[in-house]
Amino acid sequence: MRVIEVQTSQHDRRYVLVDDDGELVIPAVRFLKHLDQRGYARNTLRSYAHMLKLYFEYVHERGLDYRNPTLDDIGLFVHWLKLPSGSMKVLPAQPVDQARANRTINHALTVVSGLYDYLWRSDDVSDRLTEKTTIYLPSGARRYKDFLYHIAAEQPVAKKLLKQKEPKRGRPKTIPKAQVRQLMEPCDNQRDRLLIWLLYESSIRVGEALALWVEDIDVAACQLHIRDRGHLANGAEIKTASSERTVEVSDALINEMISYIGVAHTFEVQTIIYFSNCGELTKGNRSRTMR
């Protein structure tokens, strides 16, 4: 099984799953196309494609019919994900370390559940996998009472049978300014220093940084406008169209960006930069992306 990147007629990068003979795995391809039509981000589609690759490799290895999975089949899939590659064929003589984290396994189960929910709604399978892998406990089984508990106090609690216990997430890990300076000091060019500074201060994704245009920089307000530019020559893009937003940054970072633009955006880039009366950086010709 392989995940292959393809280009659509709109020049968008998408992903398909093919088997060992180079043939499309039709249910997986249809499901990914369905998610794409619903507006899922490209990285999400790629992640789903790789999870589907694991599942159909498991189905092929065991000689199963994907149209009629049983609870035992999905349970063994969880076990298969935990073991290193090839361990299902030859049982190890001694315990081995778990190959994938429980969070990854739960993600794979979510993708497989979504696949079968789509196939069930499309009348391609007769049974709904969610009904096989979910039990409903009495309302007293709730571990805590949330803010709106009184509204659904008598409703049963849904619990996923095969969900793996994940470690509690602590506070997001960040690095102090001193370590950011250590990253910037070895950089021998202005572009790399600016990129590290930009990512640290604005907290935008690297794809969003590479998708910035000159006109997205508001000098007067010290703001960056994250906009959906569609397909760009450098392949950068924001997560989804709904991720458009405005980010406040320092005037020092704005000055560094202006300095970099003055060096990198030469006449070969065909970008004309000037300041309007209000001080906002604008353009004459069509602006290019940050290189």
Q: Do 41 and 125 fall within a single domain?
A: yes
- Residue 264 belongs to a domain: yes
pLDDT tens track for 26-52: 999 999 999 998 988 888 999 999 999
Residue 122 reports pLDDT greater than 50: yes
Q: Do 134 and 60 fall within a single domain?
A: yes
Q: Do 137 and 205 fall within a single domain?
A: no
> Domain end: 133, 160, 187, which one?
160
The bridge status of strand 217-218 relative to strand 157-160 is unpaired
Q: Do 6 and 149 fall within a single domain?
A: yes
Residue 15, phi then psi, degrees to nearest 5: -135, 140
Please compute the mean of the pLDDT values over residues 89-99 and round it to a whole number. 64
Query: What is the DSSP annotation of 81-123?
Result: HHSPTTTTTS--SS----SS-HHHHHHHHHHHHHHHHHHHHTT
Residue 65's domain is classified under what CATH number?
1.10.150.130
> Domain end: 160, 191, 210, which one?
160
Q: Count how many domains the chain has.
A: 2
- Residue 291 belongs to a domain: no
pLDDT tens track for 249-263: 999 999 999 988 888
Q: Which of 179-183, 192-196, 272-276 has the lowest mean pLDDT?
A: 272-276
Q: Do 151 and 9 fall within a single domain?
A: yes
- Residue 167 belongs to a domain: no
Distance of CA 112 to the CA centre of its chain: 17
- Residue 185 belongs to a domain: yes
The most confident of the ranges 109-118, 214-223, 235-244 is 109-118
Q: Do 138 and 244 fall within a single domain?
A: no
Of 204, 223, 208, nearest to 289 by C-alpha is 208
Q: Do 124 and 225 fall within a single domain?
A: no
Please give the Cα distance from 48 to 115 (Å, whole number). 10
- Residue 259 belongs to a domain: yes
- Residue 171 belongs to a domain: no
Q: Do 57 and 93 fall within a single domain?
A: yes
Give the other-Cβ count within 10 Å of 264's Cβ: 15
Q: Do 193 and 219 fall within a single domain?
A: yes
Q: Do 133 and 209 fall within a single domain?
A: no
Q: Do 14 and 134 fall within a single domain?
A: yes
Instruction: Provide the domain limits for residue 99.
Output: 2-160
Q: Do 17 and 110 fall within a single domain?
A: yes
- Residue 170 belongs to a domain: no
Residue 243's domain is classified under what CATH number?
1.10.443.10
> Domain end: 108, 135, 160, which one?
160
pTM for this predicted structure: 0.73
- Residue 168 belongs to a domain: no
Give me 38's structure tokens. Answer: 């619903």
Give me 46's structure tokens. Answer: 């790629």
Position 270 scores a pLDDT of 55
Distance of CA 46 to the CA centre of its chain: 8
